A and B are shown apart, each in its own frame.
Chain A
Amino acid sequence: MATSVQHDLEELRTRALADLADAVDAPAGEIWEKTYLGPKGELTLFLRGLGALPADERPTAGRAGNALKRELEAAWDSRHRILAAADLDQHLAADAVDVTLPGRPPTIGAAHPVSQMIDELSEIFALLGFQTVFGPEVETAHYNFDLLNIPADHPARDVWDTIHVDLPGEIVMRTHTSPMQARVMEQTEPPVRVVVPGRVYRYEAQDASHEWMFHQLEGLAVDRTITMADLKGVLAELARQLFGPNRRIRFRCDFFPFVEPGVDFAVDCAICGGKGCRVCKQTGWLEMGGAGMVHPKVLAGVGYDPAVYTGFAFGLGIERMTMMRTGVDDVRAFAGNDLRFLRQFAGFA
């Protein structure tokens, strides 16, 4: 091969590599590529000019030219990658945001805390084999009182301040979810295991702990072998599901005409661990509701033989459960429907 050709090639190589090193950004790189490797680039023209060489020099010069082409292409490839990456980095830098700005809010609302608690209780009791059923809110005195062993001329009726509906017969806004005890038992053969959530109504002046409309959840289990220990076990399970795995349940003797024995039940205060604090009014216990063994007269009233069947029943205040768990301290907030109250329950449960 003629020395001049070899020399030319060497000179081209040196210059091209030096230029490539000088190309500091993507546009400069594009120009370099065009200058040396493009269709009208120097190396392309050189290779094309090989035809003019004497035939015996052509193969050697061609091999040398192609080797240079592969070398420059490889050099370009690696240089190009670096430049492109640098270029992208520059774009991204320009596209930076203040990541501490708040997110773009999707439009999402919230279920009412009462619905959330009802759904949660319904789910817990389903796991314990209790079916959720619903009953009428406008109820006859027969179901609301008589079948629950609360006779008309008895002072026990005064325990429930009743709102009456202007209809023939004695029709009331149900004062508790208990009327469904009788309705369910009338329609089913034992065994029975149901919970009944829903609105209840009392003729009562409103204050931070009293509402005339609120929600309860009634529970009822009737079978041949249901005992008060079962009641305690089920309520302890409920307390642990709602308030934590170490909670304990306490029964206190109380009177409800439709249960005998009757108790109210409390859970030990999770905040102070039972030592006494402001939330539990220094007692260490928080009252959850009333419960007991279904009164034999209630069983007999729906045609169940009290000598064969026993049952337990309990009632919980839904708002009360939510208040105990969240620290809301005014029951009127629930029917108040202030969005500033409701919004905080978007993340509850």
Chain B
Amino acid sequence: MRVPLSWFSDFVDTGLSPRELAHTLTMAGLEAEKITTIGDGWDNVFVGLVARVEPHPDADRLVLATVQAGDHALTVVTGAPNIASGQKVALALAGARLYDGHVEGQVLKTLKPGTIRGVRSEGMVCSEKELGISEEHEGILVLEADAPIGAPLAEWLGDTVIEFEITPNLVHAFSILGIAREAAALCDKPLRLPDAPSLSAAPTGPADLVTIEAPDLCPRYAAVVIEGVTVAPSPPWLQRRLLAAGLRPINNVVDVTNYVMLEWGQPLHAFDRDNLAGGRIIVRRARPGERIETLDHQHRDLSDETLVIADAERAVAIAGVMGGVDSEVSNRTTTVLLESANFAMGSVRATARAQKLRTDASARFERGIDQNLVLDAAGRATRLLLDLCPGSRVAAVSDVYPRPVLPREIQMPFREFERLLGVRLEPETVVDALARLGFGAEIDGDHLRVTVPTRRGDVTLAADVVEEAARIVGYETLPETLPTGETPPVRRDSRHRLSRDVRDTLVGCGGFETVSYVTLHDADVACFADGAGVGFLHTVPRDGLLRLRNPIQSDRAVLRPTLVPSLLEVAAANLRHESGVRLFEIARTYLPSGDTLPSERTVVCLAMAGRRDPIGRFGSDDRRLADGDRHPTDDGHLDFFDLKGSVEAVLDRARVAVRFEPATHPALHSGRTAAVLAGERRIGLLGEVRPDVAAALGIETTRVAVAELDLDAMLDLREPLAGVRIPRFLPVAQDFAVVVAEATPAASVEAALRAAAGPLATSVDLFDVYRGSQVGTDRKSLAYRVVFTAPDRALTDAELVKVRDRIGKTLKQRIGGELRA
């Protein structure tokens, strides 16, 4: 809502600067978004009088104008078609900063004196566009006759416009008068209402002038018939106010309806009465199949829930939204039927949405306008029209208003102010604050009786009254206290705690946490799908995927059942400038549940790719060399085993016991994929992404390893922390090199070792994998260090020899393995 202060100050003198006024209103709930000054740059622009216009000696389209400003008379060369002697114009002198009238948009340039076709031009007569008032640049701006010659233009035409954001509850302030009323209340200054004569003395129209057939959607309809109207452009002052407020002037009749809407907040409409069949207004629901061509020249189908204004034959306007072309006011119009009416907010809103047509009128009606505003606004518009069209007269007035709205009464205990605000307000303070807003307020014992003006439909409860008083008194007086009373127990959320533990662990493992968008690209859906469905750890049948109806990007409509594609996208983007990435995210996946809402399962997703150590400035790294003993294929790039190491660290931290088994997934490397199993429950999946899938996602140069773990499952599976005593006796470490067939999984070897070693073995760690001539083809040697500890004694050599024998036998029986000496 743009408020030109020249207009605003018709109604109140606040004594505040524009900036102070904007601040005061902002603090009270009317947020000022922008302050613009019209005429800010009009140095060297003055009001001039065109004394004489002569043809240019050397050009048909140009004229020489002699323009008088103050004591000087200057010669100006111009091509303006509308210039004439006797006009008051805006005269710019050299050095003035003006907008270029001949290019699109607003481009500032500085005026220099120049010679045009041999005649020196000492200044310029400006168009509205050149002054930055409007886009109009065909002709020059012609000022009112009483503009003072020689005065700086800014003094005559300058203005300040404050733009307010009007929250949906503030329909009473959706007008210049409404905002002036707020300002008057806040500054405790009187409000001057505009001249709006009562229409009650006007001749009443025929009984059937207005018929309301849908009183549920139209509680009030007033029509004023004005004869003898001459349709013409509005006077400059009116045009300027509309322009400053952001509306384009059209003609005096339409401009008056817009002017009053901006001033009072009551939308009006003007019909050419001669084009209304029967000269009547019928307010009704649209008939089946009924259509209308609206003023924007769209042909619109109307539903039977659309409220229309009709004449005796057809719909002539969509009520509260837009008029129709058939009854539009034109240059030939002489009799106007002025509509000032109230329409049900829900109906206007539904219609505007259905027609995808939001207008200044619908934006006001859908917030619920005061029904008692109708006749005031009609009176104001009538006064303006009669002033603008000498010789016109009111022929008939009809106001159909079967159930007038009366002011609401609110009875409330006075202590309600203290109960909500936490501070005691003096009764006089409250009564005064409410009175300034136009509320009636009476103290009655320990109660307050409030009479709410009908324009304040938003004030219905005691809490609303408290807010009204508080915003006038100001919130800065509110003390700062802390809640008293019983504090409910604060319980920690176990999922949040586990998420934090997992996050800490992964950060310690070198991971960077991401927060990625929750939708999948259609291409991801294809990569992560097989016959069973789409997903990673959790899969969803293709037709069960959750989709957004209005996604931000149409090819990203699927709510993700897995985080993996999101992390791969982040990895791909980062690999453009990073040599290696370790990423993770803890977030929801969205799975169909059969219930009203989907199931949101929290998962931990990891992705790794590229070089393990981004900067190798220390040359060979001991840790990496040592690791090479276990993973001989290691080449310094992150791979399955880096990923698995982090996954194991997470599961250790969460105290969830798992095993890893070979698995498959359509997007993963068939030989480097494992499922994470807790008992028979699959709680995770990890592997290296197939190179073709990675390439499709934009990663071609390196291996990419991804994992997803079900955090909610981990929460169910956490084992208690078993306290372990530090043994009194020193541990004994022994190495076992086990030769097995190449196909035997390490997990089987370790399981057999642990089973045979029994409870004395307190740790079993693989430290070398060897393949080569010493063990023969298709065989490998896995070297384990087993640490034996007895809680109650020092272990003897004899005991250890026995254990070694048992291990040898068990390995042979279970997995055909042999101990190497």
Interface 9-residue window, one of A37-45, A82-90, A219-227: A219-227
Query: Beyond the given A226-B483, A295-B463, could you list 14 further A-B residue pairs with CB under 8 A, ordered by the A residue number?
Result: A102-B617, A107-B582, A109-B508, A129-B487, A136-B597, A138-B600, A153-B346, A154-B349, A193-B483, A193-B487, A229-B421, A261-B466, A338-B574, A339-B581
Cα separation A167 to B598 with both chains bound (whole Å): 9
Contact B481 A227 (CB under 8 A): yes
> What chain B residues lie within 8 Å of A156 (beta carbons)?
168-169
- Establish whether residues B617 and A339, one from each chain, have CB atoms under 8 Å apart when the complex forms: no
Find out whether the CB atom of B549 lies under 8 angstroms from the CB atom of A108. no
Bound Cα distance from A262 to B463, whole angstroms: 10
Contact partners of A204 in chain B: CB under 8 A: 552
CA distance A30 to B479 in the complex (A): 85
Q: What's the count of A-B pairs with C-beta under 8 Å?
A: 254
The B-contacting residues of A in range 239-269, CB under 8 angstroms, are: 249-255, 257, 260-263
Chain A residues with CB below 8 A from B170, complex form = 255
Cα distance, A203 to B492, chains bound together (Å): 33
Interchain CA distance A223-B484 in the complex, whole Å? 9
CB distance from A300 to the nearest CB of B (A): 10
- Say whether A132 contacts B518, CB under 8 Å: no
Contacts of B509 in A (CB 8 A): 107, 109
Determine the chain A residues whose CB is within 8 A of the CB of B461 once the complex forms. 260, 296
Show the binding face of B for A, using Cβ within 8 Å: 26-29, 31, 167-170, 345-346, 349-350, 363, 366-367, 418-423, 461-464, 466-467, 470-471, 475-476, 478-493, 495-496, 500, 503-504, 506-518, 546-552, 559, 570, 573-574, 577-578, 581-584, 588, 590, 596-598, 600, 613, 615, 617-618
- A115 engages B422 (CB within 8 Å): no
Contact, CB under 8 Å: B512 / A233: no
Encode contact with B along A191-215: 1 for CB under 8 Å, 0 otherwise.
1110000010101101000001101
For A302, the chain B residues whose CB sits under 8 A away are none
Neighbour of A165 across the interface among B475, B488, B508, B548, CB < 8 A? B548
Given A165-B547, A193-B487, A261-B466, A111 and B513 touching (CB < 8 A)?
yes
Known: A109-B506, A163-B548, A166-B548. A230 touches B481 (CB 8 A): yes
Could you tell me if B517 and A128 are in contact, using CB atoms closer than 8 angstroms? no
Whether A260 and B513, one on each chain, are in contact in the complex, defined by CB atoms closer than 8 angstroms, is no
Q: Which of A114, A130, A137, A203 is the one whose CB lies under 8 Å from B552?
A: A203
Q: Which of A156-177 contact B (CB under 8 A)?
A: 156, 158-159, 163-167, 169, 171, 173
Q: Indicate which residue in B422, B582, B613 contacts A227 across the interface (CB closer than 8 Å).
A: B422
A109's partner among B346, B467, B513 (CB-CB below 8 A) is B513
Q: Give 1 or 0 for each of A95-132: 1 = CB within 8 Å of chain B CB.
A: 00000001011011111101100010010001011111
Q: Does the CB pair A155–B552 fall under 8 Å?
A: no
Q: Which residue of A lies closest to B510 (CB)?
A: A107
Q: Given contacts A262-B467, A339-B578, are A112 and B513 in contact (CB under 8 A)?
A: yes
- Which residues does chain A contribute within 8 Å of B363, judged by CB atoms? 155
Q: A223-B483, A229-B481 are in contact. Are A109 and B512 (CB under 8 A)?
A: yes
Contacts of B596 in A (CB 8 A): 140, 167, 169, 171
The residue of chain B having its C-beta at the shortest distance from the C-beta of A292 within the complex is: B467
Question: Which 10 pairs show the lowest CB-CB distances between chains A and B?
Answer: A227-B422, A229-B422, A107-B510, A261-B467, A253-B29, A251-B475, A255-B167, A233-B480, A112-B513, A164-B549
Assembly CA distance A206 to B818 (angstroms): 65
Quote the shortest CB–CB distance from B174 to chain A (angstroms): 11
Q: A153-B350, A228-B420, A293-B420 are in contact. Are A173 and B478 (CB under 8 A)?
A: no
In the complex, are the beta carbons of A134 and B495 less than 8 A apart?
A: yes
Tell me whether A58 is interfacial, beta carbon within 8 Å. Answer: no
* A253 and B168 form a contact (CB under 8 A): no
**Does A181 reach chain B (CB closer than 8 Å)?**
no
Q: Judging by beta carbons under 8 Å apart, are A155 and B481 in contact?
A: no
**Complexed CA–CA distance, A164 and B514 (Å):** 25
Q: How many whole Å from B18's CB to the nearest CB in chain A?
A: 15
A79 within 8 A of B: no
23 A-B pairs whose Cβ atoms sit less than 8 Å apart in the complex: A107-B510, A107-B613, A110-B512, A138-B590, A155-B367, A158-B168, A164-B549, A165-B549, A204-B552, A206-B552, A223-B483, A223-B486, A227-B418, A229-B422, A229-B423, A230-B483, A254-B29, A261-B467, A296-B461, A296-B462, A334-B515, A337-B516, A339-B581
How distant is the Cα of A158 from the Cα of B196 in the complex, in angstroms?
34
User: In the complex, are the beta carbons of A255 and B511 less than 8 A apart?
Assistant: no
Show the binding face of A for B, using Cβ within 8 Å: 102, 104-105, 107-112, 114-115, 119, 122, 126, 128-134, 136-140, 153-156, 158-159, 163-167, 169, 171, 173, 188, 191-193, 199, 201, 203-204, 206, 212-213, 215, 221, 223-230, 232-234, 236-237, 249-255, 257, 260-263, 293, 295-296, 310, 334-335, 337-340, 342-343
Contact between B483 and A166, CB atoms less than 8 A apart:
no
Choice from A105, A227, A263, A335 contacting B420 with Cβ under 8 Å: A227
Q: Is the CB of B490 within 8 A of A114?
A: no
Bound complex: CA A342 to CA B467 (Å): 43
Q: B422–A108 contact, CB under 8 A?
A: no
CA distance A111 to B586 in the complex (A): 11
Contacts A105-B615, A111-B507, A138-B598 given; does A232 touch B480 at CB 8 Å: yes
Given A335-B516, A338-B574, also A255-B346 (CB < 8 A):
no
Beyond A155-B366, A165-B549, A232-B478, whether A109 also contacts B507 by CB under 8 A is yes
CB atoms of B518 and A199 under 8 A apart: yes
Q: Across the interface, name the chain A residue whose C-beta is closest to B514.
A: A337
Task: Evaluate contact between A310 and B419: CB separation under 8 angstroms.
Answer: yes
Least CB distance from B606 to A in Å reads 11
Given A260-B461, A261-B420, residue A234 in contact with residue B483 (CB < 8 A): yes
Give the docked Cα–Cα distance between A204 and B551 (Å). Answer: 10
Which of the residues A111, A199, A338 comes within 8 Å of B503, measured between beta carbons? A111
CB within 8 Å for A193 and B488 given contacts A111-B513, A140-B596, A166-B547: yes
Contacts of B482 in A (CB 8 A): 128, 230, 233-234, 237
- With contact pairs A108-B510, A191-B485 given, residues A114 and B493 touching in the complex (Cβ less than 8 Å): no
Whether B618 lies near A104 (C-beta < 8 A) is yes
A128-B482, A234-B483 known; A253 and B517 CB under 8 Å? no
B513 proximity list for chain A (CB < 8 A): 109-112, 115, 342
Q: How far is the CA of A204 from the CA of B550 in the complex (A)?
A: 11
Q: How far is the CA of A203 from the CA of B420 in the complex (A)?
A: 35
A193 proximity list for chain B (CB < 8 A) = 483, 487-488, 490
Judge whether A250 and B476 touch: CB under 8 Å.
yes
Residue of B nearest to A153 (CB): B346
- Known contacts A253-B27, A293-B420, A340-B577; A232 and B479 CB within 8 A of each other: yes
Q: Is the CB of B488 within 8 A of A131?
A: yes
B167, B367, B493, B597: the one contacting A132 at CB < 8 Å is B493
Q: A108-B510, A165-B559, A253-B467 are in contact. Are A129 and B490 (CB under 8 A)?
A: yes
Residues of A within 8 A of B367 (CB): 155
A338 to B518, CA, bound (A): 17
- List residues of chain A with CB within 8 A of the CB of B485: 191, 223-226
Q: A194 → chain B, closest Cβ, in Å?
A: 9
Per a CB cutoff under 8 Å, which of B422, B516, B578 touches A228? B422
| Chain A residues with CB below 8 A from B546, complex form | 138, 165-167
CA distance in complex: A231, B511 (Å):
39
Q: Bound complex: CA of A236 vs CA of B476, how far in Å?
A: 13
Which residues of chain B come closer than 8 Å to A335, judged between CB atoms?
Answer: 515-517
